Chains A and B, each alone.
Chain A
């Protein structure tokens, strides 16, 4: 069985401050990990992915994520948050064609 956990339902940060949205996973074999963002009443948009190679991956809108195999984590980060980053963020895992999503973390960036 595979699973994804996002331990924080809500993350609040001030504009200009760094942000981190946490994700841990459990899977047999090598994980393919993804981050998606959802704006209100819309579908999800892909941000970035880790397949293999460099543990730090860079994605859209200045986001990056760090893959840590020993801690089975894939935390999403951004050096300087924008108010427009406020949205619902999902971490996801794909293994053998099947995808599992975390429950999501609502990020609120305050001016």
Chain B
């Protein structure tokens, strides 16, 4: 029972490079989320998807794009990475509205140099 799986776990990018963070869940959840965690800031919502085919901005969406490929997969893309995007990224899913509890992946530690 894998839950929420994120790839890669670590990544170093040069400023201006692009990359896609992958996320897949096997719990048949409707809602999926991308958060970033920075020291002293807690977790902040980047984008979310309430259901397959829909996406919407969260608190800190600038510099990111997302794709809800199907019910299982929700990817986060950095088109032109900046040092300010150095962070730990977490994908999560939940069975809203039946349950508020969100299940998180193990995270991707991204460094932009």
Query: A and B bound?
Result: no
Contact surface of B with A, Cβ cutoff 8 Å: none
Instruction: Write the residues of chain A forming the contact surface with B, with a CB cutoff of 8 angstroms.
Output: none
